[in-house]
Amino acid sequence: MKNSFVQVQNLAKRFPIANEEELTVFENANFAIEKGEFVCITGHSGCGKSTILNALAGLDEPTQGCVIMDGKEVVGPSLERGIVFQNYSLLPWLTVMDNVKFGVRARWPNWSKEQIESQCHKFIDMVGLNGTELRKPSELSGGMRQRVSIARAFATQPKLLLLDEPFGALDALTRGNIQDELINIWNETKQTIFMITHDVDEAILMADRVLLMSNGPRARVAESVVVDIARPRKRAEIIDAPEYYKIRNYLVNFLVNRSKELSGSSPSLNEEPLTVNPGVETRPMPETKAIA
């Protein structure tokens, strides 16, 4: 934790509510992300995942605690942290090319036109959008828009990439394809990624570690589940891995049963989530009720 690339320390978010005690979304959230790691976080709606991601991004100030990246405290947004939002957030008056350029130009203001163009082309190719450079977002499908958004974020080569349910609005087929692309890009760039997802299979496919949040209010980052499946992982083959169903059952069981039981009790100061490795551990799983 002490020397980790990203350190989240005793993070808390509270909202004042009229005529009521203030609402504590979560408190004493502690976790770390290592350089080059792909971490997913999952939990039920409203538990505070986006709030944590926005705090990591510097878009939203936590009520307490802090985020440290690369030895420096996060204050305000920065080009060191790229973000992909669920609703793509492309600028609709710009073409695909210009949307990607928007990021690259902001990142390297002194680059020549050629340098900027080649960087943009590289990442537009990477997400499989060559040939659509001159289209506007309104002329693209949802999946293509999200690809542009991913290209824009990756092209600025941030130290940390934050993705807030990037595939939540896409159909299953498109989602699968873009997941594959994201993994490929990650393999090439070895970027550190923090991603919110509601999809257990997506988390197992992509993540090194899955953080589990209990239900809000007073949610906690309860556990850190290691996904110990060899890479490269393929969507079609991963289900044959012996660890796959163990991890899957563990995650589903948490979301269906234990996330409720754990809610309402905050962790103590500096308490870190329990690390579990359901793929190898023979430790009995608490209440193995839910199966695929």
Q: Is 25 in the site for ligand ADP (CB under 6 A)?
A: yes
Which of Mg ion, other proteins, ligand ADP, none is residue 15 near (CB under 5 to 8 Å by kind)?
A: ligand ADP
Instruction: List the one residue from 7, 28, 30, 50 that touches Mg ion (CB under 5 A).
Output: 50
> Which residues make up the interface to other proteins (CB under 8 A)?
57, 59, 76-79, 81-83, 85, 87, 89, 91-94, 102-103, 106-107, 136, 138, 156
Tokens of 199: 């999809």
Q: Of 82 and 166, which has the nearer Cβ to other proteins?
A: 82
Helix (H, G, I), strand (E, B) or coil at 40: strand
Closer Cβ to Mg ion, 46 or 286, answer by number? 46
Do 30 and 5 contact (CB within 8 A), yes or no?
A: no
Burial of 128 (0-12, 13-18, 19+ CB in 10 A): middle
286 binds, among Mg ion, other proteins, ligand ADP, none (CB under 5 to 8 A by kind): none
Residues 4-23 as x/- pattern, contact with ligand ADP by CB under 6 A? -----------x-------x
User: Which element (helix H / strand E) includes 236?
Assistant: none
CA dihedral defined by 76, 193, 44, 152, rounded to 10 degrees?
Answer: 70
Binding residues with Mg ion: total (CB under 5 A): 1
**CA torsion through residues 63, 69, 74, 78, sign:** negative
Helix, strand or coil, per DSSP, at residue 218: coil
Residue 54 as a binder of Mg ion (CB under 5 A): the answer is no
What strands, in cross-sheet order, belong to the sheet with 64-69? 23-33, 6-15, 64-69, 72-73
> According to the binding rule CB under 6 A, does residue 62 interact with ligand ADP?
no
Q: Which does 108 bind (CB under 5 to 8 A by kind): Mg ion, ligand ADP, other proteins, none?
A: none
Q: How far is the CB of 107 from other proteins (least distance, A)?
A: 8
Write down the least CB distance from residue 217 to ligand ADP, Å. Answer: 7
Q: Quote the CA–CA distance of 199 and 283 in Å, as a whole number.
A: 25
Instruction: Check binding of 260 to ligand ADP (CB under 6 A).
Output: no
Q: Which one of 7, 28, 42, 51 is in contact with ligand ADP (CB under 6 A)? A: 51
Shortest distance, position 269 Cβ to other proteins, whole Å: 31
78 binds, options Mg ion, other proteins, ligand ADP, none, Cβ within 5 to 8 A by partner type: other proteins
Q: Tokens representing 66?
A: 């802090």
CA-to-CA distance for 57 and 74, rounded, in angstroms?
8
If the CB atoms of residues 84 and 104 are measured against ligand ADP, the closer one turns out to be 84
Helix (H) or strand (E) holding 138: none
**Judged by CB under 6 A, how many residues of this single chain contact ligand ADP?**
11
Strands 221-226 and 209-213, sheet pairing: antiparallel
Angle at 173 between CA 133 and CA 140, to 5 degrees: 25
- Taking CB within 5 to 8 Å according to partner kind, which of ligand ADP, other proteins, Mg ion, none is near residue 106? other proteins
Provide, rounded to whole angstroms, the least separation between the CB of residue 34 and Mg ion.
24
211-to-19, 102, 123, 152 alpha-carbon distances in Å: 34, 32, 29, 26
Our finding on whether 197 is near ligand ADP (CB under 6 A) is: no
Name the residues that contact ligand ADP, by CB under 6 A.
Answer: 15, 23, 25, 45-51, 216
